[in-house]
Amino acid sequence: MSKSVRGYQGRHFIVLLILLLVSVSCTPVTAQPATTAPLTAVRVTAVPYLSFAPLYIAQAEGYFAEQGLAVEFVRFQRNSDSLPALLQGQVDVDAIFTIGLLNAIQQGQPARVVANKGVLTQNGCPADAFVKRAGLAGTPSDFSADTLRKLKFGVDPTWIDSYFLQQWLAQYGVDLSEVATVYLPDPAARVEALRQGALDIAFLSEPWITRAQQSGAATVLMPAADIMPGYPLGILSFGPNLLNAKDDRGQRFLRAYLQGIRQYNEGKTARNVEIVTEFSKLDPDLVQAVCWPVFAADGQLDATAIAGYSAWAVHQGLADQALTPAEFWEPRYLNELGK
Amino acid sequence: MLLTVLAGWEIATRSGWLSALFFPPPTLIGVTLGRLAFTAAFWSALGITVVRLLAGVALGASSGLLLGWLMGAWRPVRLILTPVVTALHPLPKLALFPLFLILLGLGEASKIALVALTAFFPMLLNTLAGVEQIERTYWEVAANYGVTGQRLLWRVIVPGSLPLALVGLRLAVNSGLILTVAVEMLAAQQGLGAQIWLAWQTLRLQELYAVLVVISGLGFATHQLLNRLTWYLLPWQTQENEHE
């Protein structure tokens, strides 16, 4: 090989080497994605019921992730088990409302109601109602006080359905203590009890109202919204983790939650039905057929109505002291979102 | 020992080391128990639980006792029923409660029936074991004297199986008490179990603990009663124990 050829090849090689070194220095050794802040974990009590749909929609559509939150849904076998977990910081948000929450707040525990989760609305399609067994004739206007005193009611003695029953019976001059009540926690057992005639009237929520009607066991007697229109049937509460948080994850959580409500309020769209079917494991036809609960778009709630429930709980011996709205309602998270 | 634990608990709660909400101080539990003792609702709840327990155990234990004697004394019955018993025994009885509700309704029948089923198996198995451990000599002597039927039952089977049958009764009562409270927690308006459920729902845990104390007391009382029954029915056994 001649010197000129070797020289040309040498210079060519050096140029290539320089180009290679320059390209390597401009490119990271290992290609890394654009750095993103890690998502903040938030644990939320949730069960696969229709009344939790906006939460599941927000999760499925990535609204929580957009707010930098990694939301984990935590399920408990019994509703009353979620509150201790909230108070001990094992979950951050509780979406189940019990009298225990009001008692815990009254005892100075770090928990507050921060948003609405369902409001009773008279829209001709009740998601929560008192139903009557198939063989029980008459409408509410046909009933007399004496008739009601002879009936058996399936209600939870510590929950809102007893409160609604009390309000309804009061229209007839009847007190809750004058009627027979039976507590069956399982809605399937309530429907079966209605079918067998062991119960005359029971409080049900969807999809059990539709199931009871489709099976011929019961029909809607009195929508809950007709008894107490506008009542906040569900709430979201924050525990110490979010109440004491120095960052704004509480507001971000609610922002995503409200986005979930906005999409939910679009109605039974194909996407919403798909999400509800997925998390509830209900048949899509049933999801289409049932009445969906109503959610206030701004997440606000009537705290005075809950204060009335608190006073009732004291009267029933379920609580020691009635709470005022200022003692349990913390609107600042929603208020800051509205700014 | 117990006083030391209670004192430690009291100090831990009062000083804030332990959550007073979930572990109320023993003194508060005592005060709550005292307050409950003056309410008619508490005695009604206690009475209802005791009635359910007694009714269920009477039904279940008597059935188990009779079937245990039958299976123990008669081989064909034992061969036929042993696979059935061993298959049914491990079933979690509480899981069967919804079926009992459907079959027997919302009243007391479903609850008492489930308690009876719970009491049945320990009684059956221990009685069966009691019959099986009767020495062969006794059977042979009875056969030689032509003792059969009721005489065989009262002269050989009953006294021979009684010690283990009484152990079975003790287990039946304990299991029955546990299940009675559990069933009441699930689906009863009244009873100690319903009180526990209510205390948990309303997060007034001092009442929950107070009821647990009462249930412990009930367990202790039944234990003492069964000791007396054993002393009465097996005087030779208690005398042997005293001499040891």
DSSP A127-172: SEEEEEETT----GGG--HHHHHTSEEE--TTSHHHHHHHHHHHTT
Measured between CA atoms, how close is B15 to chain A, in angstroms? Answer: 16
Please state, as a whole number, how many other Cβ atoms lie within 10 Å of the Cβ of residue B48. Answer: 21
Q: How far is CA A201 from CA A226, B100, B181, in A?
A: 16, 21, 27
Confidence of residue B186 (pLDDT cuts 50, 70, 90): confident
What mean pLDDT comes out for the span B224-235?
90
* A100/B202 CB distance under 8 A: yes
CB A43, CB A92: distance < 8 Å: yes
How far is Cα of residue A266 from the mean position of the Cα atoms in its chain?
17
The per-residue pLDDT for A214 is 94
Residue in B19, B101, B201 nearest the CB of A189: B101
Mutate to test the interface with A, among B201, B205, B206 (most CBs of A within 10 A): B201
- Which one-letter amino acid corresponds to residue A235? I
CB < 8 Å to B187, chain A? 183-185, 189
Helix (H) or strand (E) holding B161: helix B158-187
Please say whether the beta carbons of B88 and B118 come within 8 A: no
CA distances from A315 to A318, A321, B239 (A): 8, 9, 58
- The strand pairing partners of A115, in sequence order, are A236
CB nearest A99 (choices: B186, B189, B202): B202
Q: Which residue of B has its CA nearest to A195?
A: B102
Across the interface, whether the CB atoms of A193 and B106 are under 8 A apart is answered: yes
Interface test with A, best of B18, B202, B206, B208 (most A CBs within 10 A): B202
Contact state of A103 with B189 under an 8 Å Cβ cutoff: no
For B168, counting Cβ atoms within 10 Å of its Cβ (0-12 exposed, 13-18 middle, 19+ buried), the class is buried
Buried b (16+ CB within 10 A) or exposed e, A271-280: ebbebbbebb
| Distance from chain centroid for Cα A192 | 26
Nearest to A103 among B105, B187, B203 (CB): B203
B187 has a chain A CB within 8 A of its CB: yes
**Identity of the residue in B106, B186, B203 whose CB atom sits nearest the CB atom of A182:** B106
Which chain A residues have a beta carbon less than 8 Å from that of B102?
189, 192, 196
Buried b (16+ CB within 10 A) or exposed e, A92-113: bbbbbbbbbbbbbbbeebbbbb
A69: part of which helix (H) or strand (E)?
strand A69-74
Which residue type sits at A313?
A
User: Quick one: DSSP state of residue A202?
Assistant: E
Task: Look at chain B and count its residues.
Answer: 244
For chain B, give the percent of residues with pLDDT over 90.
Answer: 70
Distance CA A83, CA A111 (A): 9
Whole-Å CA distances, A151 to A51, A178, A200, B14: 29, 10, 6, 48
In tens, the pLDDT along B196-208 reads 998 998 889 999 9
pLDDT value for A159: 87
Gap between the Cα atoms of B124 and B169, Å rounded: 9
Q: Confidence class of residue B240 from pLDDT cuts 50, 70 and 90?
A: low
Minimal CA–CA distance to B42: which of B224, B213, B220? B213
Contact residues, chain A, for B105 at CB < 8 Å: 196, 198
The full DSSP string for B91-144 is S-GGGGHHHHHHHH-SSHHHHHHHHHHHHHHHHHHHHHHHHHTS-HHHHHHHHH
Name the residue in chain B with its Cα closest to that of A104: B203
CA distance A241 to A114: 14
> Whose CA is closest to A112, among A262, A230, A250?
A250
Q: What is the mean pLDDT of each run of 10 residues along chain A (339 residues)?
A: 51 60 49 61 93 97 96 85 92 92 94 95 95 93 93 91 95 94 88 92 96 95 96 95 93 97 97 96 95 95 95 93 96 87
Q: Which two tokens stand for residue A42?
A: 């938030």
> Which residues are A222's β-sheet partners?
A130
CA distance A217 to chain B (A): 14
